[in-house]
Amino acid sequence: MKARTPLAIALVLAVAAGSSAAGEAQVAVAANFSAPMKEIMALFEQDSGHRIKASYGGTGKLYAQIKNGAPFDALLAADQERPERLEREGMGVPGSRFTYSTGRLVLWSAKPGLVEDGESVLKAGDFNKLSVANPKLAPYGEAAMQTLSALGLRQTLEPKLVMGENIAQTYQFVDSGNAELGFVALSQVMQEGRIAKGSGWIVPGDRHAPIRQDALILRAGKDNPVIAELFDYLKTEKVRALIQDFGYETEAAAMASSSMMQRSRGFAETPVPRI
């Protein structure tokens, strides 16, 4: 057997040291954030060597799983309520919670040109089904129902509603054609700064409560250094820019937007790019 040189031995030890330093964590992630999270995990693994395993679902369902002992190290929710509740209940690390994004709601159809003016389309009612996420489980569903109430259409359109368990299933109903329209997360239909297919109307922010999405380190992840690194990583400019590319606002952008809103009479509707 050929003896190894000191350089070869040093390289082997360096690789072994790097492997031992790499860690892993399990994170529960709101369904609306699945697309950006997949990119963030790939970048994080590349930059840190650590691996993140993500489980996606409605925030209400993820909260129930955590309460029932699911071994997640952290939660990236679609609201503030559940992370706050988990922190109060002693299941989260105090002081670790922060708003990683603020979501945008869009009335979307897989058909190009169908949604030119969202309010007009909803008021006309010339469609068979309107897909929304279950408002008891999904904050985007709650925002959708608030929007219908603000437009005075909740009771009128209730017979046309198709409930998805979460925002991912809600999107599938519309994408498959089972519903002509649906209230989905802008991140689900936006690519490279524009709606990738179909047509949509970005709901003005004054039609529903802000969809502030909080992250929280859970009790199981308290001593996991990978989670601490991930939370720091989520606050970097690189990741914030990526999140914004998917149609979200980060905390700094949301504060700037809120300040502008207070100096104006109301929200201006965001122009909707179409193909």
CATH of the domain at 243: 3.40.190.10
pLDDT tens digits, one per residue of 78-133: 999 999 999 999 999 999 999 999 999 999 999 999 998 999 999 999 999 999 99
3-state secondary structure of 67: helix
Domain shared by 117 and 200, yes or no:
yes
Domain shared by 94 and 59, yes or no:
yes
The alpha helices in the chain, defined as continuous H runs, are: 6-21, 34-48, 59-67, 81-88, 118-124, 139-150, 154-157, 167-175, 186-189, 225-234, 237-245, 251-262
For the ranges 38-42, 56-60, 271-275, the lowest mean pLDDT is seen at: 271-275
For residue 6, the model assigns a pLDDT of 52
Domain shared by 128 and 190, yes or no:
yes
Domain shared by 77 and 124, yes or no:
no
Provide CB contacts within 8 A for 53, sequence distance 6+.
24, 25, 26, 27
Domain shared by 202 and 107, yes or no:
yes
Over 60: is that where the pLDDT of 54 sits?
yes
For residue 191, the model assigns a pLDDT of 82
Domain shared by 24 and 88, yes or no:
yes
**Which two three-digit tokens encode residue 59?**
């925030």
| Number of C-beta neighbours around residue 25 at 10 A | 23
Domain shared by 98 and 223, yes or no:
yes
How is the beta sheet containing 74-76 ordered, strand by strand?
A: 51-57, 24-30, 74-76, 211-217, 98-103
**Total structural domains within the chain:** 2
3-state secondary structure of 161: strand
Domain shared by 110 and 96, yes or no:
no
Over 80: is that where the pLDDT of 2 sits?
no
Give the DSSP per-residue string, 77-108.
Answer: -SSSHHHHHHHHTT-B-TT--EEEEEE-EEEE
Where among 170, 185, 207 does a domain terminate?
207
**pTM for this structure?**
0.79
Comparing 274 with 149, the larger pLDDT belongs to: 149
Domain shared by 45 and 90, yes or no:
yes
Domain containing 81 equals 6-102+212-262
274 within a domain of the structure (yes/no): no
Domain shared by 96 and 176, yes or no:
no
Tell me the average pLDDT across 41-49. Answer: 97
3-state secondary structure of 199: strand
